[in-house]
Structures are given as C-alpha cells and as structure tokens.
DNA sequence: CGAACCTCCTGCGGGC
DNA sequence: TGCCCGCAGGAGGTTC
C-alpha cells in the first residue's frame, strides 16, 4: 500500500535511471487499470524523460516535447528498473525500454493504479491534480491552514487529514500513526480541535512522513532488479494494525474502530 | 457545500 | 491440508 513516503522513495529510486533517457519501446500487457491505459501510448517512443516529479501520491514523468506521464500506484502498484530480458511476472502490466538498455516496469496486482499520457496539458492542471491541497512537507501546510480547513467540519479529524483537499499524501496507516504521535483521538470532530492541537498534528504528520521517507532511502538499491517494494514494512508502527496489543508508550490495549469505512487505531490513554 | 456510501481488484487470512 | 468466503484499501464518483 504505497503511501506518500513509498511514492517519494519510488521517485528517488527511478529518477536517476530515467532522466536523460530516450524511450525506445513501449510494452503494454494489460490496459485495464483505474483508467484504461491509452491505446496510443507508443507515441511517447523517441522522447526523452527530463524529470520525475511527485505531487501527493502522483508521479509525473516529464517528457521533452511530448508532455508527461501521469502515474499513480493505487493500492498495490510498484515501479522498478529491470532488464528487458527479465521474465515478465504476473501483473507486470507496462514496460518502457530505455535507451541505456534498462527498462521501467509498472506492476500492479489490484489494478487500482493509473498510467496516463498527457500529451499537451500542464500535469498540475489535470483534473486529478488541480484540486489537491498542500504538500504535507511544504511550508504551505501550516497549523493555520489545518485550523481553517477544520473549522466547519464535524467529520472525524482522521477523515479530514486523509482528505486530499486538506493535505495530500496522508493515507490510512500514517493518519492513525500521526494522530497517535500528536496525542489526538482520531474520532474527534475536526471542528472541536482546540488551541495547540493543530500545530501538534501538523508537526506529527511531517515527522511521521519524513521518518518514513528516510527509512525508504536506505532501500533505494532495491529498485534495480528487484521487486521494487520499498522497505516500509519495517516501519515501526505504534498503533496501526495493533488492535488489542499493548500501547508501546503506556501498555494500554490499542483500540480499533471503522471510520469512513477504514480501519482506525488509537490508544485510549495516550490520545484524548 | 458536506457527509455517507459505492466502486474498482486481487491476495491473503480466518474459519472449518 | 485445502478450500471458500470476506475483507482490506486510494481516491474518484454518486447521491442526498
């Protein structure tokens, strides 16, 4: 389940293999992703990748004079650098051969991901990106912003920080983790957060995501000729998936509930 | 506008 | 051991 740190780790992993490289061949083995992979994707053949950017959990591969690729890993997607001679594995849906001899492979068992070509438009103006809120690690994501956004929302604060119009890239796992670190119960109505809570939550989101990106950085080598799965499974989680287990801080059993149809975890003692 | 719910899909875990 | 069922989850879309 790629969250923002995994996507950023992916970006850093593939960028040095892509930038400056010419796309020499496009192989599409399965078009049925969240949106159908365009039938004319091979029009990118001959163009050079100039940059790999990230916006939220979206990746943008800029192509010189050929627009850009818009990629999302969905629930189960991954990108890795392979060799064209490597056997295709089940769910390896797309491969781009590169001038230097390597190959970028898109793998996605559940096919919730996105792989689109935007020939002309500025990708940030695309309808999928246009309404996204600030990057959590940018200056724009402040306590004042979170306060303003939460003001009229009676929805649970956890749902609000997972709303990409409020802030991008906070997925289900890190939402629970950030709220634990901030000492805030996930189910409290957003509008009822008081005083320093916004600041603590902004700080906690930043910390959780930054730490996870750092951990991912240690596994970058895995992007070449391996499964492309960042090492985030090693992440030490405080509450996520730990229902009934003792809180790592106080020993109280971790609670679980469904919010917005998503599993939610918290410590009833440490979070108020 | 916000809130609640639906949808896509496969792998995996629980239950027996 | 093997099989079946149901669930998990990102995020856009729909409905009220």
* pLDDT for position A234: 45
**Alpha-carbon span A219 to A8, nearest angstrom:** 12
Let me know if A42 is exposed, middle or buried by CB neighbors in 10 A (0-12, 13-18, 19+). Answer: middle
* Closest residue, by C-alpha, to the C1' of B2: A153
- A222 with A230: CB under 8 angstroms? yes
Alpha carbon distances (Å) from A118 to A10, A24, A40, A43, A105: 21, 18, 11, 11, 19
Which residues, 6 or more positions from A271, have their beta carbon under 8 angstroms from its beta carbon?
A: A179, A180, A183, A184, A185, A186
Q: Output the distance from A250 CA to C10 C1' rounded to whole Å.
A: 32
User: What sign has the CA pseudo-torsion A171, A172, A176, A177?
Assistant: negative
- Report, in ranges, which bases of strand B sit under 7 Å from a protein C-beta: 1-11
The pTM score is 0.93
Q: Output the distance from A247 CA to C12 C1' rounded to whole Å.
A: 35
Q: Which of residues 106-135 of A touch strand B (CB under 7 A)?
A: 109-112
* pLDDT for position A223: 53
What letters, b where the CB count within 10 A reaches 16 and e where it falls short, cover A131-144? ebbbbbbeeebebe
> Nearest CA to A82 among A146, A18, A177, A170?
A18
Q: Output the distance from A265 CA to B5 C1' rounded to whole Å.
A: 21
The reply to whether A261 Cβ lies less than 7 angstroms from strand B is yes
Mean pLDDT of A86-92: 92
DSSP A160-183: HHT-TTT-SS--HHHHHHHHHHHT
* pLDDT for position A217: 52
Q: pLDDT by residue (tens digit) across A227-271?
A: 445 544 445 789 988 888 899 999 999 999 989 889 999 999 999
Q: pLDDT by residue (tens digit) across A179-221?
A: 999 999 999 999 999 989 999 999 999 999 998 888 775 444 4
The reply to whether A31 Cβ lies less than 7 angstroms from strand B is no
Evaluate if residue A43 carries a pLDDT over 90: yes
Active site residues of A: 2-3, 57, 262
């Amino acid at each position: 389940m790629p969250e923002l740190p995994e996507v950023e780790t992916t970006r850093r992993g593939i960028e040095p293999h892509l930038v400056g490289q010419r796309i020499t061949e496009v192989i599409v083995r399965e078009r049925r992703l969240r949106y159908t992979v365009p039938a004319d994707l091979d029009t990118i053949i001959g163009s050079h990748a100039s940059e790999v950017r990230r916006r939220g959990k979206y990746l943008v591969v800029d192509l010189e004079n050929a627009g850009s690729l818009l990629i999302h890993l969905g629930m189960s997607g991954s990108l890795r650098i392979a060799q064209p001679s490597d056997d295709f594995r089940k769910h390896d849906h797309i491969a781009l051969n590169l001038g230097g001899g390597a190959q970028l492979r898109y793998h996605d068992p559940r096919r919730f991901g996105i792989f689109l070509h935007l020939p002309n438009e500025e990708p940030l103006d695309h309808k999928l990106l246009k309404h996204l809120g600030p990057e959590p690690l940018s200056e724009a994501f402040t306590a004042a912003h979170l306060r303003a956004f939460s003001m009229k929302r009676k929805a649970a604060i956890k749902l609000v920080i997972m709303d990409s119009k409020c802030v991008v890239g906070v997925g289900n796992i890190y939402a629970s983790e950030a709220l634990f670190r901030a000492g805030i119960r996930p189910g409290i109505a957003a509008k009822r957060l008081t005083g320093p809570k916004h600041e603590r939550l902004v700080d906690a989101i930043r910390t959780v995501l930054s730490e996870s990106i750092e951990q991912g950085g240690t596994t970058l080598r895995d992007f070449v000729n391996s499964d492309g799965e960042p090492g985030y499974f090693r992440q030490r989680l405080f509450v996520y998936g730990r229902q009934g287990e003792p809180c790592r801080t106080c020993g109280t059993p971790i609670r679980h509930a469904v919010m917005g149809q998503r599993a939610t975890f918290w410590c009833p003692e440490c979070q108020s």
